[in-house]
Amino acid sequence: MNEDTAAKLKDLPRVDEVLAEPALAYHSGRFPAETVLRAARSALASMRDDILEGKITDISPERAAFLALKELRKAEERSLRRVINGTGVILHTNLGRARLSDSAAAAMSNAASGYSNLEFDLEEGRRGSRHDHIGRLIGEITGAEDAMAVNNNAAATLLALSAVCFKTEVLVSRGELIEIGGSFRIPDIMRVSGASLKEVGTTNKTHLYDYERHINEGTGAILKVHTSNYRITGFTEDVSVKALAELAHKNGLPLIYDLGSGLMVDLKDCGLDEPTVPRALKDGADLVLFSGDKLLGGPQAGIIAGRKCFIEAMKEHPLARVMRPGKAVLAALEETFRQYRDPVQAKRNIPVLQMISASPDDIRYKAQRFALRLAQENPLVCDFSVIRGTGMIGGGAAPMLGIDTWAVAASPREISPEEMASRLRRWKDPVICGVQDGLLLLDMRTVADSELQTLAEAVAGVLR
Ligand SMILES: *Cc1c(COP(=O)(O)O)cnc(C)c1O
C-alpha cells in the first residue's frame, strides 16, 4: 500500500460525521435509525474499497452521506417492479410473459384481497374443490371432458407423466426431445416422473411405423411434444396428432400432447400457424398440456385438458397438492377463459392477442404521433424518427415468425444511445428497449396506449 492510499484510508470520515451531514440527517427521519446507520457504514465500506483500488479522490463526509442516501432510496424501492416493454417481443419470458387483461387483473385482485369460495361449495355449504372453478369452463371452451390447472406447463408435464405413465415406457419422437430453457428437458422430466423414455424415429424424420414397432406390454403412452421454440426444416417428417391418436387408441394407450403455447383461437390471418388446443383435442389427443401465460394470454399456470378419467387420477396424485395454483391465479384463469366464450371479444380484450393482431398501419400511426410528441417535449437534446422493425411472439412460440412492426428511434445528441438505454432501464418506471445501428428503439407494438404518458416522462427524465 502506498502512502497516499494509507493517508486516504486514515482520513475517511467517521460514521457519526456522516450521520451528522445535513443531507442525510434531513432525510433520515423517514427511516429507522438502525437502517440509516447501516447505510452510512456501507457507504464508508464501499469508499474504503474504492481507495484500495485506487479509484477515488473525494473522501468527504458529504460524499459518504450522498452514497448512504442513495442506498436508502434504493432500499425503499420494490424489487419486483412493473416495467415498460419496448422490445417488441410480445411474450418476453424475462419480462413476465403475458400481460393480463384488465378484467383478469381485477378478478385476481378481488380474489386476493378478500375471502373466497376457493374450496367451499356455496350450494351445499360444505367443502368443495379448487379445480371446480375452471374444469367445466375450460371444457366448454376447448371441447375437453374435464381440465385442471397447476403452476406451469413444466409441472403439468411432470404430473401427467407421473400419474398416467409411472413405471411404463413412453414413446417420444427423437425430433421432439425439446429443451425449453431454464432446465426443462423432456428426458429429465421423464426421469423424475418415474416413466421411462423410449426414443423413436430420427431427428429429422419420424414415421408412424417408428412408433408402431416399439409398442409392447410395457408401453404406457405416446407423448407428442410441440417443438415450440425451434423448427426442423428441409427433409423432415413427423406424425400428425390424428394418426398418432388412432395408433394409440388401437393399442389401448393414451396420447398425451405437450402443446406449450396454448393457442385457443385461429390466428392464421396474423401469419401465426400454431396448433390450437380445441383442434388437438378434436384430433384425438387424450390429454393436452399448455401454459397459461403464453398464447392463452392469462396468468402463469399449466393447464391439463382432456379425458376425465386421467384428470381424476391427476387430481388425486400427491404431486397435485405440491403444484396447486393459488386463488389469485385461479381467478385470473377463470376470467381469461370466460373471455374466450366470445372469440371476437377475446381478440379485442386479451393483450397478447391484441398485440399480435394489431395492424402494422395502426402501429406506424401510433409511432409517428409518439415520435412527434417526444420531439416537441425534448427539443435540442435528441432526434426522433420512426423506423420499421421486426417484432417477435417470444416465449418459445412461433420462433420463425417475424412480425412487421414500427418503432420510435431515438438518437440522443449528448449521450450515447447505449447510455440512454441504460438510464431508461434504471429509471423509476424502468423501460426495457434495444439499441441497433446507433439508434435506441422503442417498439410500439408492445407498449400499451396507457403507458405512453409514463414512457414520455421517462424519456424526458433521462435526457434532462
Ligand atoms: C413453454 C413450454 C413448456 C414449459 O411451460 P412453462 O409454462 O414455461 O413451464 C413445456 N413444453 C412446451 C412445448 C413449451 O412450449
The CA angle 449-454-455, to the nearest 5 degrees, is 80
**Tell me: the pLDDT tens digits for 115-153?**
999 999 999 999 999 999 999 999 999 999 999 999 999
Give this prediction's pTM. Answer: 0.90
**Tell me: the pLDDT tens digits for 354-390?**
999 999 999 999 999 999 999 999 999 999 999 998 8
Tell me the C-alpha distance between 426 and 375, whole Å: 22
DSSP bridge pairs for 383: 411
Please identify, by atom number, the ligand 1 atom nearest to the C-alpha of residue 229. 15
Tell me the C-alpha distance between 218 and 445, whole Å: 50
Amino acid at 235: F
pLDDT at 150: 98
The residue whose CA has the least distance to atom 13 of ligand 1 is 260
The residue whose CA has the least distance to atom 6 of ligand 1 is 153
DSSP bridge pairs for 258: 225, 289
88 neighbors 60 (Cβ within 8 angstroms): no
CB under 6 Å to ligand 1: residues?
152-154, 180, 184, 225-226, 228, 258, 260-261, 291, 302, 396
Sheet containing 382-394, strands listed edge to edge, beginning at the edge strand earlier in sequence:
89-91, 382-394, 397-412, 439-443, 434-436
pLDDT at 384: 98
Ligand 1 geometric centre to CA of 33 (Å): 47
Stretches where the chain sits below pLDDT 50 are none
Ligand 1 geometric centre to CA of 393 (Å): 14
Burial class (CB in 10 A: 0-12, 13-18, 19+), 350: buried
